[in-house]
Structure 1
Amino acid sequence: MVQIAFLGAGSVVFTRQLVADLLRYPELADVHLALHDIDADRLAVAEGTARQIDARLGTRATITATLDRREALRGADFVITMIQVGGIDATLTDLELPARYGLRQTIGDTTGVGGVFRALRTFPVLEAITADMRELCPQAWLLNYTNPMAMNVWWASVVAPDLKVAGLCHSVYWTAHDLAELVGVPVESTRYRAAGVNHQAWMLEWTHDGQDLYPLLRERIRREPELERRVRVEMFRRLGYYPTETSEHSAEYLSWFLRSDAQVERYRIEPLQYIGISRDNLAELAATRTMLAEGTPLPLEEGASEYAPQIIHSIVTGTQREVHVNVVNRGLIDNLPQDAVVEVPCAVDADGLHPVAMGALPVQCAAANQPYLSVNRLTIEAARTGDPRLVRQAVLMDPNASSSLTPEQIWLLCDDLVAAHGSLLPEALRVPVPAGTL
């Protein structure tokens, strides 16, 4: 029996979709779903969700739920991580505290100051997970959904280089679907490949019946001027390739958009958007709890949209697929650092994941990726060496932060965030660094 451990199973909507996608494959109808969360209430909702889906689909999954992570990992074939260390309170801190300094973010979970501190909270837990896996399920695949994606996968490669790890994100998948709808072609008949870094990859190949679709997209934009008031369209206009993350996310990875009120208005950006999303997630948890108690069927999306179920099915059955994954750059993108984590196409079969070498990115796209990877590298080094100065230097390298704040303000902001997150951070990094120290 295939055993799949869900770590952070209390991520209610995510767990619901993953379980549904998995159990819709006949070959996975009898899997063992080992659910784990540190929050007993959320874990109970996750277990109820999985059991309802199993009953509705008429499958025969074995479902267990435990507050003990090691129990969930013991004997697992696949481990799916979707944890949020510190929960919504830490997320709100990452967004609201920088805003007091005048630093705008939209989501704050990938790079920049929010991504740096989310990573530093997550690294100790991720390191503990990988240590448990090396003991309890050393041959398992670790399929990570937790943000900041690139930094987490990079950290796993540092602390557990012997484990099989891939980071999964649906941004490329949904970009391809949204673009196909925009230009009026069925996505099933398109071919697409993207490469770059997570949440800032580039649609390098995008065709329909062998014809490049970019001319259709340019014509669509010309016909609807309001599209030009979106961040991704501006990036496409300036760099020549369409980015794979939403305009809201993409706005905070560059220096171009959140630096002034005028730019925020021009590109229709909603700063602090993730605060509303986080509160909506809490409302969804409450609604799901009520629906389970009343026996009301939970809403399920049709079709397998998530990559983890597709990968698991391919490895178990030998079905060949191509997905996009985040892995260490070992000869995959020539003009990005070779130890960094990049997002590339990946063939999957019974032998596992086989990332596709994409050569060199267009130089302007690689240039846009470099600051993102500089933030990542400095954050990794801060955690690896225990040097708190590197935390501040990571934020200094972020285009959004450095376009909005002075170096002294960035230093003070980091001191405030260290104090706010406290014991969630690695012990060596919990100290202030005087801004004037030479």
Structure 2
Amino acid sequence: MKKRKIVLIGAGSSVFTQGLVADFITSGKDFAPLEIGLVDIDEKALDSITKLTKKMVEVKAADMEIHSSVDRRELLPNADVVITTIAVGGRRAWEDDVFIPRKYGIYQPVGDTTMPGGISRAQRMIPVMLEIARDIQELCPNAYFFNYSNPMTAICAAIHKELGMNVIGLCHGVIHVEQYLARYLGRKLSEVKSIGVGLNHLTFLYDIRVSGEDAKQLLIERYYELQKKETLQYADNPFSWTFFEKYKMFPAVLDRHVVEFFPERFASGDYYGKKLGVEAISFEDVIADGDRIYEEMHEMADGRRELNHHLFKRSDGEHEQLVDILHSLYFDERKIFSVNMPNNGAIPNLPRHAVLELPAVAAAGGFKPLYLPDYPSIAASFIRKRLTVVDLTVEAALTGDVSLFVEALLADGSVQTEGAALRLAHELLEANREHLPQYFS
């Protein structure tokens, strides 16, 4: 069998890289022999993840070669698959995206997709992602190109707009919510299926079934049952459940992400008696966990900590999904996955140019989106509103036009006045100056 070559750009994203390599190791001979190229501009992180993944390959005697470089152009030639997981500026820049808006009374639990944090992040990410995409076009034009980096929708939209390139965005959000609902109902994941369409982190599951039967009423009854018993198992995602109760659509990916698309409903971060990102869905905890995992990677790489053998126990989620997607593409299995790609008429009541998260068939000829003429009009209205923010965000990142950055902040709805938006935009841009050549050249 031909040796396949997979290049991972942003390999210092330790959890993802370890999980991905483990999944290819446990997938057996389907992908062997395999060459994996690891790329990261952080030399320390790259050195550690290279040592760690080589240990994983050695422990399992896998038919796999690991190569690494800080220069992606060294590894991209002849790649069959390219995966991006980069985060320009890392966790320190991410902190600025969230902490600076707090000074303006804006609270975000994540800040990587929308609201001021996500808009700011896009300004750093889009120019670099376009550079990577151009290198892929030049050095391995026939490779499958998968992006996991956020803000997913804005990045993929910019690449399609500027280069007309077939990048596919992947996220574990839909399968994560199916897992959540299966646990809620006490059913197996294999029994729960859904159809969802939207934007990454704002996808509405409007057809939910258990063993083929419509599960909406079953979920509502379970919701009321738990309310009466005061077990409050739904309380970890109150907005998602009340949204489902009202519109009969379940939002992905639960409150942590969804609340950021409705900032007008959580003024000053007030969220069911708690402060978003602080007391509820703590942003600081996420950053601390990331720093801890980063250090654990270094400790495993240099032998101060034992290799985590739980990595080799496959579970549903983003890493396994990628392996399954590639299997479906290579072996023409024609399985359906939730992916981010241009609409092109698949959802008639949404713009053709929009990058949507939607179900698509992974076949030997690539991805074919399902035609879904029944997408609810109320869901489409929510998505169209947010697409305006995406379009403005992309244009700002491409042109370095501060006025467009300000308009994106205003359209988002979390900033109430043009003066505040202008001050916030300048402060965010200044904090990220070293990563924003389009604004400061």
> Structure 1 pair 62/72, CA: closer, same or farther in 2 (3 Å)?
same
Question: Per-residue deviation at 1:144?
Answer: 0.2
Q: Retained in 1: the 8 A contact 2:216–2:248?
A: no
- What CA distance in whole angstroms lies between the structure 1 residues aligned with 2:158 and 2:138? 19
Q: Please point out which of 291, 294, 319 is paired with 1:282.
A: 291
Counterpart in the other structure of 1:297: 307
> Are 1:313 and 2:327 an aligned pair?
yes
Structure 1 window deviating more from structure 2 (294-303 vs 320-329): it is 294-303
Q: Please point out which of 67, 83, 89 is paired with 2:70.
A: 67
Question: Per-residue deviation at 1:410?
Answer: 1.5
Structure 1 window deviating more from structure 2 (269-278 vs 170-179): it is 269-278
Question: Per-residue deviation at 1:268?
Answer: 7.7
Counterpart in the other structure of 1:398: 412
Q: Retained in 2: the 8 A contact 1:419–1:430?
A: no
- What CA distance in whole angstroms lies between the structure 2 residues aligned with 1:389 and 1:182? 46
Quick one: which amino acid aligns to residue 91 of structure 1?
Answer: W
Counterpart in the other structure of 1:337: 351
> Are 1:129 and 2:142 an aligned pair?
no
Following superposition of structure 1 onto structure 2, how do residues 10-409 of structure 1 map, counting pairs within 5 Å? Answer: 10-25=12-27, 26-161=29-164, 163-225=165-227, 226=232, 227=234, 230-260=238-268, 262-265=270-273, 270=279, 273-294=282-303, 296-298=306-308, 299-300=310-311, 301-303=313-315, 305-306=317-318, 307-399=321-413, 401-402=414-415, 405-409=416-420
- What CA distance in whole angstroms lies between the structure 1 residues aligned with 2:404 and 2:170? 27
Question: Per-residue deviation at 1:58?
Answer: 2.8
> Structure 1 pair 180/333, CA: closer, same or farther in 2 (3 Å)?
same
TM-score (norm 2): 0.92
Q: Retained in 2: the 8 A contact 1:392–1:414?
A: yes
Quick one: which amino acid aligns to residue 67 of structure 2?
Answer: T
> Structure 1 pair 262/43, CA: closer, same or farther in 2 (3 Å)?
closer
CA RMSD, 1 decimal = 2.0
Residues 198-249 of structure 1: CA deviation (Å, up to 9, x unaligned):
1111112221222111111111111223325612112212322000112111
> Structure 1 pair 339/360, CA: closer, same or farther in 2 (3 Å)?
farther
Question: Per-residue deviation at 1:114?
Answer: 1.0
Counterpart in the other structure of 2:436: 425
> Structure 1 pair 108/83, CA: closer, same or farther in 2 (3 Å)?
same
- What CA distance in whole angstroms lies between the structure 2 residues aligned with 1:219 and 1:128? 51
Q: Retained in 2: the 8 A contact 1:12–1:45?
A: no
Q: Which blocks of at least 5 consecutive residues in structure 2 are unaligned?
A: none
Percentage identity across paired residues of the two chains: 31
Structure 1 window deviating more from structure 2 (299-308 vs 408-417): it is 299-308
Aligned residues: 426
Quick one: which amino acid aligns to residue 306 of structure 2?
Answer: T
Q: Retained in 2: the 8 A contact 1:105–1:258?
A: no
Q: Which blocks of at least 5 consecutive residues in structure 1 are unaligned?
A: 432-438
- What CA distance in whole angstroms lies between the structure 1 residues aligned with 2:345 and 2:363? 21
- What CA distance in whole angstroms lies between the structure 1 residues aligned with 2:430 and 2:406? 14
- What CA distance in whole angstroms lies between the structure 1 residues aligned with 2:98 and 2:170? 24
> Structure 1 pair 65/277, CA: closer, same or farther in 2 (3 Å)?
same
TM-score (norm 1): 0.92
- What CA distance in whole angstroms lies between the structure 2 residues aligned with 1:234 and 1:406? 30
Question: Per-residue deviation at 1:264?
Answer: 4.2
Quick one: which amino acid aligns to residue 50 of structure 2?
Answer: E
Question: Per-residue deviation at 1:411?
Answer: 1.5
- What CA distance in whole angstroms lies between the structure 2 residues aligned with 1:259 and 1:122? 28
Quick one: which amino acid aligns to residue 255 of structure 2?
Answer: S
Question: Per-residue deviation at 1:262?
Answer: 4.9
Question: Per-residue deviation at 1:320?
Answer: 3.0
Question: Per-residue deviation at 1:24?
Answer: 1.9
- What CA distance in whole angstroms lies between the structure 2 residues aligned with 1:175 and 1:377? 27
- What CA distance in whole angstroms lies between the structure 1 residues aligned with 2:69 and 2:269? 48
Quick one: which amino acid aligns to residue 239 of structure 2?
Answer: V
Q: Retained in 1: the 8 A contact 2:9–2:39?
A: yes
- What CA distance in whole angstroms lies between the structure 1 residues aligned with 2:276 and 2:283? 15
Quick one: which amino acid aligns to residue 333 of structure 2?
Answer: T
